[in-house]
Amino acid sequence: MGMTMTQKILAAHARLEKVEPGQLIMADLDLILGNDVTAPVAIREFDKIGTEWVYDKAKVAIVPDHFTPNKDIKSAEQCKLMREFAHHQEIENYFEIGQMGIEHALIPEKGLAVPGDVIIGADSHTCTYGALGAFSTGVGSTDMAAGMASGQGWFKIPEAIRFNLKGKLQPWVSGKDVILHIIGMIGVDGALYQSMEFGGEGIRNLTMDDRFTMANMAIEAGAKNGIFEVDEQTLDYVKEHSTKEFKVYEPDKGARYTRVIDIDISEIRPTIAFPHLPDNTRTIDEVGEIVIDQVVIGSCTNGRIEDLRSAARVLKGKKIHSEVRTIIFPATQKIYLQAMREGLLEIFVEAGAAVSTPTCGPCLGGHMGILARGERAVATTNRNFVGRMGHPESEVYLASPAVAAASAITGRISSPEEVVK
Amino acid sequence: MIQGKVIKYGHNVDTDVIIPARYLNTSDPEELAKHCMEDLDKTFVDRVRKGDIMAAGRNFGSGSSREHAPIALKASGISCVVAETFARIFYRNSINIGLPILECAAAAQDISEGDQVQVDVNTGVITNLTKGKTYQAEPFPAFMQEIINADGLISYVRERKK
């Protein structure tokens, strides 16, 4: 019986010829990642193991991105603990404020994730690097600690759902709409314990930024990982960003899937997830009149340069609605600089948006844009759970950067088609 | 053998309601326990008693990878979680920190709020003393049982390093 991409990568990293779904393996890790929420817990657990040094200081990455720049004394203390650990251990991939970015935008940009890697991160959106044909998955702090000490992690070999994409996206439709459409179709536990494997000729029509967004939200369908087949675009991206050795894995012809889903992406409309689950989706044509108080454009899901360009195409020369606060977060310093050079930041500020340094802040209700009771936000983030961005009685609507920008102008959830004539 | 009174919730109890991110600027278990479940059930913290068992529906622990979620539940006194299904990161985090969790749809659906329930983690047998019923959960694979027996992943790795 053939293996899926994920099964082949995991088998190779466990030095096995073959693996079966359900099998438990110990795999060698190519990268272990943590942030200012999860790494402090991991460091305390690491100290309990009694080993002095991390197994490979080049294979650990630590990024202070959640409550940074520090929002209060407690978070400053957490960051300090993490920073001291990184310096003491001489961690090569520690990125300080001013050079950092939101981890899942930063890691690929720094060339630390390449095809064929096995990566764990103490953050659920670690699945983002599947866009590059790597196996990457979110774990907890204890897994991060054990990984830092031993260079290995335990995994149960997952089954997979195969998504065969065809066609080309319509104008104003992006990877965000495709993944929201898919989550709406299979549900928030539709891929529980499984891989979501994306392939087919249609992926060639998806940019790398589209793919990062889609792999990023695999977790919102309960998946262990999302993974894309590698094509020329992937290889170009890797050549531009990384000097690491890599290996391209393809699924076997006879790979077994629990489900094969064919999707014509040219039929997908801008899609919005209503409160309070990412699978509660409607197309832009079905939303009705939803008046909003805040727009957030950014995050590990949609803070990349194409996301900002898309928002800027909508906002250029227009004014944001007087009763809407709009906050835009480029996801890394490099993206920030590029957006500045391309004049995007100027477009945002002239439209009346606030532009922030990279941070996860508002996405998880940490800081920099918390909602009050009864308030509604359109956000390009990844979760709209109860209380996710603030008060338990606030509401989050998940959308693409284009829809978010259009909504900022009209003050209600709107299509970019309505705003850009 | 674990025994306790059941506190029951529905489907898709996510880690954001188990412990809201606004409290993640600390990782102190006692601090976290003070805010456990508050966005879903403000009464939880006051009514939970040491040893209580949590029962829930599908996809328990979905969302964020924060280990603070099982840590908060454990520190609040919850001795075991029984659900129809668990989100996978929550599942491995619970095993890694030594919070027993069992996947059993029959038990999770049948058990009611307030029932007295007994759980044998080794065999996966769940006994509902109030309703006089027993249910069989999938027992842990041997490998995970080893981690649990070692009192969590850290002790397990420490032993292997020797």
Region B139-146 average pLDDT: 82
pLDDT at A371 over 90: yes
- Number of residues that make up chain B: 162
Q: Which two tokens stand for residue A406?
A: 């259009």
| Chain B contact set for A386 (CB, 8 A) | 14, 16-17, 39-40
Q: What pLDDT does residue B87 have?
A: 97
Region A95-119 average pLDDT: 98
Q: What pLDDT does residue A260 have?
A: 98
pLDDT at B149 over 80: no
Residue A28's pLDDT band, with cuts at 50, 70 and 90, is very high
The whole-angstrom distance between A350's CA and the closest CA on chain B is 32
Q: Which two tokens stand for residue B40?
A: 């879903």
pLDDT at B65 over 90: yes
Answer yes or no: do B25 and A74 touch at CB < 8 A.
yes
Answer yes or no: do B59 and A365 touch at CB < 8 A.
no
pLDDT at A326 over 90: yes
Gyration radius from chain A CA atoms? 20
Residue B150's pLDDT band, with cuts at 50, 70 and 90, is confident
Q: Is A151 on the interface with B (CB under 8 A)?
A: no
Q: Amino acid letter at A197?
A: E
Question: Residue A155: beta bridge partners?
Answer: A25
- Mutual angle of helices A232-241 and A208-216, in 10-degree steps: 90
Region A189-200 average pLDDT: 98
pLDDT at B161 over 80: no
Answer yes or no: do B158 and A48 touch at CB < 8 A.
yes
Q: Is A127 on the interface with B (CB under 8 A)?
A: no
Q: Is A128 on the interface with B (CB under 8 A)?
A: no
**Domains, chain A:** 5-264 (3.30.499.10), 269-419 (3.30.499.10)
Number of CB atoms found within 10 A of residue A242's CB: 18
| Chain A contact set for B154 (CB, 8 A) | 45, 48-49, 142, 145-146
Number of CB atoms found within 10 A of residue B14's CB: 25
Nearest CA in chain A to B16: A388
Contacts of A252 (CB under 8 A, 6+ apart): A2, A3, A4, A8
Residue B148's pLDDT band, with cuts at 50, 70 and 90, is confident
ipTM for this model: 0.95
The whole-angstrom distance between A238's CA and the closest CA on chain B is 27
Q: What pLDDT does residue B162 have?
A: 67
DSSP A20: -
Contacts of A212 (CB under 8 A, 6+ apart): A104, A105, A108, A128, A131, A175, A304
Q: What tens digit of pLDDT does each residue of A121-171 get?
A: 999 999 999 999 999 999 999 999 999 999 999 999 999 999 999 999 999
The share of chain B scoring above pLDDT 70, in percent, equals 99
Nearest CA in chain B to A124: B65
The whole-angstrom distance between B77's CA and the closest CA on chain A is 20
Answer yes or no: do B153 and A386 touch at CB < 8 A.
no
Choose from B18, B41, B62, B84 for mutation: most chain A CBs within 10 A: B62
| Chain A contact set for B75 (CB, 8 A) | none
The share of chain A scoring above pLDDT 70, in percent, equals 100
Q: What pLDDT does residue B138 have?
A: 83
Region B11-29 average pLDDT: 95
| Chain B contact set for A388 (CB, 8 A) | 16, 21
Residues A321-351: b if buried by 16+ CB within 10 A, e if exposed: beebbbbbbbbbbbbbebbeeeebbebbeeb
Region A218-244 average pLDDT: 98
Residue of B85, B92, B147 with shortest CB distance to A192: B85
Answer yes or no: do A140 and B158 touch at CB < 8 A.
no
Answer yes or no: do A24 and B24 touch at CB < 8 A.
no
Answer yes or no: do B157 and A150 touch at CB < 8 A.
yes
Q: Is B87 on the interface with A (CB under 8 A)?
A: yes
DSSP SS3 for A273: strand
Choose from A23, A38, A381, A385 for mutation: most chain B CBs within 10 A: A385
Question: Residue B8: beta bridge partners?
Answer: B55
| Chain A contact set for B156 (CB, 8 A) | 146
Nearest CA in chain A to B59: A189
Contacts with B, A 55-74, CB within 8 Å: 66-67, 71-72, 74
pLDDT at B75 over 80: yes
